[in-house]
Amino acid sequence: MIFFKLMAIGEVSEILEQEYGPLEWHSYQDPIDVLIGTILSQNTSDANSGRAFASLKASFDSWEAVASAPAEHIAQTIKSGGLCQIKAARIKQVLEQIEKEQGHISLDFLNAKTMAEAEDYLMRLPGVGHKTASCVLLFSLGKPSLPVDTHVFRVAKRLGLIDSRASIEKAHSLLQEQISPSKVYQFHIHMIEHGRQICHARQPRCNRCILRGACPSSLRFHRS
């Protein structure tokens, strides 16, 4: 019988840093850009969502112009990103709500809020969940909220960092409470990189995984 010594999240973070290199946390992107870009990224590839975002920015002079445009016009602009009708309606609703509440379309006021307050505001926007809110907090506002995408979720479950039965929503809080705030950015980026390069959803490359010795899932995949 083979036994695995499960690693703490800090140990996993250190090993991934050795493999993929240290990262410096930069929070310089505009929060509205990140918010809309993350909505566009849902259920599609980075390439497709990137094209849709570039098309949207090129087609409108401002986010206020996007908010006042017909949803159908927005949908045509972002069709390369998939699910364009759903995403167009959501983008329009989000921008309209921010403009109504703030008087203009900006999230800069969240800089003065605590992370919990900022997250609460973002998650009250139409269709905004933990992942989208965390992306805005982490990549724009300098707040160490951990986004849990499909890669982070999959790798964390396989490593036993969270219970295999945990939902992706629950995973957010379970992982957040384990990781040092200063390591959130690097851990997020490295877990995604590891998921893309090694820990694939199907046929993970366990024989090349630097975390194999601490991964209870590696034996199952090795046998299959």
Question: Exposed, middle or buried: residue 13 (CB in 10 Å: 0-12, 13-18, 19+)?
Answer: buried
DSSP H helical ranges for 21-149: 31-41, 46-59, 63-68, 71-77, 84-102, 115-123, 130-139
Specify whether 131 is catalytic. yes
Distance CA 109, CA 97 (A): 15
Catalytic residue among 131, 143, 157, 183: 131
How is residue 84 written in tokens?
């364009």
CB count in 10 Å sphere of residue 2: 7
Please compute, for residue 42, the number of CA atoms within 13 A of its CA located in the half-sphere on the CB side.
Answer: 21
CB atoms within 10 A of CB 76: 14
Place of tokens 């016009």: 73
CB 52 within 8 A of CB 40: yes
- The label of the residue with tokens 């036994």 reads 3
8-state DSSP, 210: T
Catalytic machinery residues: 131
